[in-house]
Structure 1
Amino acid sequence: MTETIDRQAQTGELAGPNWGLTKFLDPLRIPPVIRPHSWWHHEMITIPMVTKTQRLHSQLPPSKLWTYAGEFPGPTIEVRSGKRLRISWNNDIEGKIPLVAVQGPAGTNPSDRPGRELDRKDYKIIDGVADLPAWTVVHLHGARTNAGNDGWAHNANLAGTSQLTEHDNVQQAMPLWYHDHAMAITRFNVHTGLAGMYLVRDDEEDALGLPGGDHEIPLIIADRNLDRDPATGALTGQLLYKVGDVGGGILLPFTGPFTTVNGVIWPHLDVDARWYRFRLLNASNARFYTLNLVDEKGVPQNDAVRLIGTDGGLLPAPAPLPARTGQYPGGLTVAPAERFDLLIDFSRFKGQKLRLTNLDPDLGTVEPDLMEFRVENRNRHDSFRLPEKVSKSYVRLKHGSTLPEKHDHVWIALLLNKDGHPEMWDLEELSTPDPGGDGIIQLQDPTASPPKLRTFRRIGKLFDDTTGIFLEHDGWAVWNILHVADGGPAHPIHIHLTEFQALFRKHFTTTFSSRDERTTRPIGSVNPQTGKPDPIDDLPLEKYEEGWKDTFIVKPGEWVSVAGGFGGGTGEFMYHCHILDHEDEGMMRPFVVHPKEVAKFHHHGGHHHG
């Protein structure tokens, strides 16, 4: 049975957690597919950005959206590896941004309730959002492309103009996605509906005989909030960007009470009793999901699920979903911008209903279910068999063997400043043990041979500060990301242009002082209270974390080291937190990739890494 929770008309309030909407009432919407190279010599397509109304649930009034080609999410674009595609992104949007943006009273987080409170007295309109024009720039997330095609945040376009990009697609089969990346307002533009999936296909993927056609389906997850009529309390369909205020002028990132899958709130999907392939994308502004497949009794059935790919392509072998350990509920944790390639065997559930459910411990009062699968009650011939190996071309990167000996090192710090606001610094390593002053991070590095003290100084912390990272084209680099904040959120860090493999994940006791903007003593040094060094402990990587990725979760007190090659393009690119509120509020920095022959002639205030 579908689950209905009725409105409480007498009080004007809606009952939670479903707020008057019927779960699993509407079928899952499948975005239309554009396959440019299936047309005769067709190497260019036009994608218009247009204003559109669309029902997010059949019991709701239509919502006004900004869309790619009139679809939320946008059309799925499929290309062949190595086939060039030019895209004209035409900004044909009419009117101002279709958002009502409000913040709650200080010291509150009301984001998981729909609408504003009925009297609206405690809610403050976020100044200036309603006046935003359609100023957009498209970023193809995960693309190996020159910087001119990458969607540089300052290079946005107003309505009536267009952005032309060219992608050579010289990369292996993988799930990319496209979304808006306009400077300082990405969180608002993406929230209006500007996101879609882009799939690269290749011969290695074809040879696997994976489920395809109607049995390969994108699942694009995004949470939203909706306003309510002040007189009746009824949901209006109006997109509401409502955030909490923790005090001191710091607003929490957006999270909402309604989860959409492919633009539908709590949909259902009728499936055959056979294997399916799902291309999963978390397109939410900030919400993390811990996904489990559960039966009608709420019992996890994750053994029917296998991971075969991540952001950057296929894994070497199918991997199970992480199991329950201690207080961790188990399941697949998906941060904003992460993509996963999932296989689910429905043949063992004939005639049953299953749910894709979020068991994230920080979910609060939000409805945990995302969607329902309804399995047919019949036997179905299925020639697909789960392979023991997936990608035969995959090579695990390791120091001293498969990672090229000549590679650069980049160091990044994630922290909370003295006002409690998240920041991201790029760092320059110094030869001086402690030069004094602010912006100093020190690390007793156990990975060096022999172990040594490393001292770093902040180069930049805002996007328009001095560029600090310069890398050689066709070179390799290891990026070391230190989350030195004492508390605060986990950050999904996205690096443009290329894919990476995680080399390790370590945990340390932070000694960073936000007041002084420096470590009070080196991380991993002798603790004066215990007389022993604070440990820097290895945290085991999940099997899927060994795959190629462009977005990595870094929790407080973690050091994540990732390695990648920078051969996909040249120019100035971006790296940032993919919590879009953090990105817009300063957690984004540039880096440059240029030919080594040019590098020796380039005089700059930043630094190369070695």
Structure 2
Amino acid sequence: MTDIIGRIADGLADLVTDARASGELAPYVAPLTVPPVLRPGSDDVRQETEIALRPTWVRLHPQLPPTLMWGYDGSVPGPTIEVRRGERIRIAWTNRIPKESEFPVTSVEVPNGTPRPSTQPGRDGVEPNKDVAALPAWTVTHLHGAQTGGGNDGWADNAVGFGDAQLSEYPNDHQAVQWWYHDHAMNITRWNVHTGLYGTYLVRDDEEDALHLPSGEREIPLLLADRNLDTDEDGRLNGRLLHKTVIVDPKNAETGKPVSLPFTGPYTTVNGRVWPYADVDDAWYRFRLVNASNARIYNLVLIDEDDNPVPGAIKQIGSDGGLLPRPVPVDFDEALPTLTIAPAERMDLLIDFRAFAGRRLRLVNKGAGEAPGVPDVANDVRYPQVMEFRVGESGECEDSFELPEILSGSFRPITHDIPHGHRLIVLTPPATKGGGGHPEIWEMAEVENPGDVQVPTDGVIQLRGADGKVKTYRRISRTFNDGLGFTIAEGSYEQWSFLNLAVQPEVTHPMHIHLADFQLMGRDAYDASGFDTAVGGTRAPIEFDPDRRIPLAPNERGLKDVFRVPGGQLLRVMGRFDGAYGRFMYHCHLLEHEDMGMMRPFVVMPAEAMKFDHGAGHGGHDGGHGGGRAG
């Protein structure tokens, strides 16, 4: 027996040596880890639960040396926080990362046109960014999705240093849901999250309990995050995290600063491990999926041993804001060819393994131009592997779960009959005048007398809607620190319309609004060719395209707080801003875009208090009905 163990150890050592030398890692060789569960509930809300941010060493893959990361309570991902609805808690997010700690991420920007793409491991000979290496541990935690006051929301500027605590209170007065928490520090969120500062948060309630969904060991969080890895002087993987992006304009005339693309890495981690496997029974399982990546949008497919899609095994039962009204079958057909999940989106999935005893199924990331499981380097999918499920062979597993036809009897659709205000937000192409080479968020207000406005003019956009009428809008803000644009009455409904002026549909911004849950009201196709980036406005109206209908996907019909806005689309969402007052943010959840300016504030206050506002320091409003109108 000793000889056998010795030969196995020698074989693994050879595998590690070969893999590190070649830069290739073997998939599905490490078991899936499950974050610890933390239940901070107490009868005394004054009792705080401390969650300390600490340096930690993580083994991302058996063929790699340990990787230095930062984790919540020393765990990557952080512990799964679990509470009951209405169970108010207080958390002290305490920064315990010593001042002298090394920043765990190496950051480089590879010149555009480099022979190897940004998803190739290693630095391509580029020197690390010394300014990133010198970053202190300056952190602030945002509980993404939570309805809590502005002072508890994790305002980006209110980050803390070593020894200080960020004190936050969460009422948790929300239907059963999966939120998640992550760092949100101003300017450096992309690197702080990259270090490992993310985790998931579950709210339970009686309605969910009554469904008797798979639970215990058969309910598993899956936190996806793509990463790149640095190499040593010999080209071998050294385990160090690498934030590697491509510079698209190294000599930007407006700012003199380089403009880099959002980060996508070759290695997918699930719960902090590269391409793990999970041993499962031949039974129903519930997976709480969140995309914790900086910028990668996954197109997930479940495949069998022969790389063929497995139809019918997956049912989606929830999204960002909780349970869907009914289960959505995932058959990987034309209606829902993949499970597309953008950064910060969540999916509550059931997978039925009962017909797959003794088999292995794999979750892969499908490239835009290839079959499932096939590398598609042209679309940044160097390695399609995500994780493997190894189904037990017993065939006799006890499982009494039955999929319900209706999931949430409390779900109520929002309709246009509800009194509501309108906002128009424009997402600009990177080359737009005054943008410094980056895409921006423009808040727009409708012009009452269009004849008084010259067209084309910087910041002026004309829009021809489905009714054939042309409306003129003027930009009222474009950067985070511009004057406040949106002030909203607490308890009011608003429709926010996001118009992406990029011509290419693959230029997608996942937009996130803090505090509120929304429902998607519709996607409309628009011809954005009338927008002139050199002018910063339209030469001809942006036209509604009646010939290109874009139906909402079945799994988009629940409550959402992150919405994908592809180029050439206007997305309309409606929600109620209730449950809290304060100053909040909305932003693109591509973290590189967020850090570089695609973020704006808004304020929620009592409607009664708004009557006494004279506009000084606050944006346009009309009892919650201000701002630009669209749709």
TM-score (norm 2): 0.89
Residue 321 of structure 1 deviates from its aligned partner by 2.3
Q: 1:52, 1:603 → 2: CA distance?
A: 51
Select between 256-265 and 425-434 the one with higher mean Cα deviation: 425-434
Mapped pair 1:112 → 2:85: no
Mapped pair 1:563 → 2:587: no
Structure-1 residue corresponding to 2:352: 345
Mapped pair 1:241 → 2:236: no
Amino acid of the structure 1 residue aligned with 2:143? L
Residue 41 of structure 1 deviates from its aligned partner by 7.7
Q: 2:582, 2:393 → 1: CA distance?
A: 55
Mapped pair 1:208 → 2:221: no
Amino acid of the structure 1 residue aligned with 2:32? L
Structure-2 residue corresponding to 1:102: 108
1:44 to 24, 48, 59: 48
Residue 338 of structure 1 deviates from its aligned partner by 0.2
Q: 1:6, 1:440 → 2: CA distance?
A: 63
Q: Is the 8 A contact 1:116 1:227 kept in 2?
A: yes
Amino acid of the structure 2 residue aligned with 1:426? E
Structure-2 residue corresponding to 1:394: 411
- Structure 2 vs 1, CA of residues 268 and 430 (structure 1 numbering), >3 Å: closer, same or farther? same
Q: Is the 8 A contact 1:5 1:20 kept in 2?
A: no
Structure-2 residue corresponding to 1:544: 555
Structure-2 residue corresponding to 1:524: 543
Q: Is the 8 A contact 1:191 1:285 kept in 2?
A: yes
- Structure 2 vs 1, CA of residues 344 and 40 (structure 1 numbering), >3 Å: closer, same or farther? farther
Mapped pair 1:411 → 2:424: yes
Structure-1 residue corresponding to 2:462: 442
Q: 1:408, 1:536 → 2: CA distance?
A: 28
Residue 105 of structure 1 deviates from its aligned partner by 2.1
Select between 426-435 and 214-223 the one with higher mean Cα deviation: 426-435
Amino acid of the structure 2 residue aligned with 1:342? L
- Gaps of at least 5 residues in structure 1 are 526-533
Mapped pair 1:470 → 2:487: yes
Deviation by residue 1:363-417 (Cα, 9 ceiling, x = unmatched): 44511010000000112121101110101111122223xxx2x211111000112
2:63 to 56, 59, 65: 59
Q: 1:138, 1:277 → 2: CA distance?
A: 27
- Structure 2 vs 1, CA of residues 5 and 349 (structure 1 numbering), >3 Å: closer, same or farther? farther
Deviation by residue 1:128-158 (Cα, 9 ceiling, x = unmatched): 1111101111100000011000011111111
Q: 2:129, 2:487 → 1: CA distance?
A: 37
- Structure 2 vs 1, CA of residues 38 and 299 (structure 1 numbering), >3 Å: closer, same or farther? farther
Mapped pair 1:484 → 2:491: no
Structure-2 residue corresponding to 1:369: 385
Q: 2:337, 2:232 → 1: CA distance?
A: 39
Q: 1:101, 1:357 → 2: CA distance?
A: 27
Q: Is the 8 A contact 1:292 1:302 kept in 2?
A: no
Q: 1:505, 1:366 → 2: CA distance?
A: 31
Backbone CA RMSD of aligned residues = 2.1
Residue 537 of structure 1 deviates from its aligned partner by 4.1
Structure-2 residue corresponding to 1:506: 524
Q: 1:536, 1:165 → 2: CA distance?
A: 49
1:277 to 262, 270, 286: 286
Q: 2:535, 2:381 → 1: CA distance?
A: 38
- Structure 2 vs 1, CA of residues 422 and 368 (structure 1 numbering), >3 Å: closer, same or farther? same
Structure-2 residue corresponding to 1:497: 515
Q: 2:127, 2:238 → 1: CA distance?
A: 19
Following superposition of structure 1 onto structure 2, how do residues 145-224 of structure 1 map, counting pairs within 5 Å? 145-224=148-227
Residue 5 of structure 1 deviates from its aligned partner by 14
Residue 250 of structure 1 deviates from its aligned partner by 1.8
Q: 2:547, 2:438 → 1: CA distance?
A: 26
- Structure 2 vs 1, CA of residues 14 and 483 (structure 1 numbering), >3 Å: closer, same or farther? farther
Deviation by residue 1:553-589 (Cα, 9 ceiling, x = unmatched): 0000000000000112111100000000000000000
Mapped pair 1:309 → 2:343: no
Q: 2:380, 2:104 → 1: CA distance?
A: 28
Residue 44 of structure 1 deviates from its aligned partner by 2.8
Mapped pair 1:334 → 2:350: no
Structure-1 residue corresponding to 2:92: 88
Structure-2 residue corresponding to 1:76: 80
Q: 2:14, 2:552 → 1: CA distance?
A: 45
Amino acid of the structure 1 residue aligned with 2:532? S
Q: 1:410, 1:490 → 2: CA distance?
A: 20
Q: Is the 8 A contact 1:37 1:43 kept in 2?
A: no
Residue 427 of structure 1 deviates from its aligned partner by 1.0
Deviation by residue 1:102-141 (Cα, 9 ceiling, x = unmatched): 1112334732111123xx2xx1433411111011111000
Q: 1:244, 1:503 → 2: CA distance?
A: 36
Mapped pair 1:34 → 2:54: no
Q: Is the 8 A contact 1:408 1:471 kept in 2?
A: no
Mapped pair 1:131 → 2:134: yes
Q: 2:283, 2:17 → 1: CA distance?
A: 44
- Structure 2 vs 1, CA of residues 80 and 43 (structure 1 numbering), >3 Å: closer, same or farther? farther
- Gaps of at least 5 residues in structure 2 are 1-11, 251-257, 369-377, 627-631
Residue 262 of structure 1 deviates from its aligned partner by 0.1
Q: Is the 8 A contact 2:446 2:472 kept in 1?
A: yes
**Per the alignment, in what secondary structure is the counterpart of residue 330 of structure 2?**
coil
**Per the alignment, in what secondary structure is the counterpart of residue 428 of structure 2?**
strand
Deviation by residue 1:69-89 (Cα, 9 ceiling, x = unmatched): 000000000011111010000
Q: Is the 8 A contact 2:214 2:284 kept in 1?
A: yes
Q: Is the 8 A contact 1:291 1:333 kept in 2?
A: yes
Deviation by residue 1:457-496 (Cα, 9 ceiling, x = unmatched): 1111111111101110011100000001223720000000
Amino acid of the structure 2 residue aligned with 1:272? D
**Per the alignment, in what secondary structure is the counterpart of residue 355 of structure 1?**
strand
- Structure 2 vs 1, CA of residues 359 and 499 (structure 1 numbering), >3 Å: closer, same or farther? same
Residue 445 of structure 1 deviates from its aligned partner by 2.2
Structure-2 residue corresponding to 1:529: none
- Structure 2 vs 1, CA of residues 441 and 380 (structure 1 numbering), >3 Å: closer, same or farther? same
**Per the alignment, in what secondary structure is the counterpart of residue 422 of structure 1?**
coil
Residue 508 of structure 1 deviates from its aligned partner by 1.1
- Structure 2 vs 1, CA of residues 329 and 469 (structure 1 numbering), >3 Å: closer, same or farther? closer
TM-score (norm 1): 0.92
Amino acid of the structure 2 residue aligned with 1:409? H
Q: Is the 8 A contact 2:20 2:237 kept in 1?
A: no
Q: 1:201, 1:9 → 2: CA distance?
A: 46
Structure-2 residue corresponding to 1:24: 28
Q: 1:183, 1:116 → 2: CA distance?
A: 26
Q: Is the 8 A contact 1:414 1:425 kept in 2?
A: yes
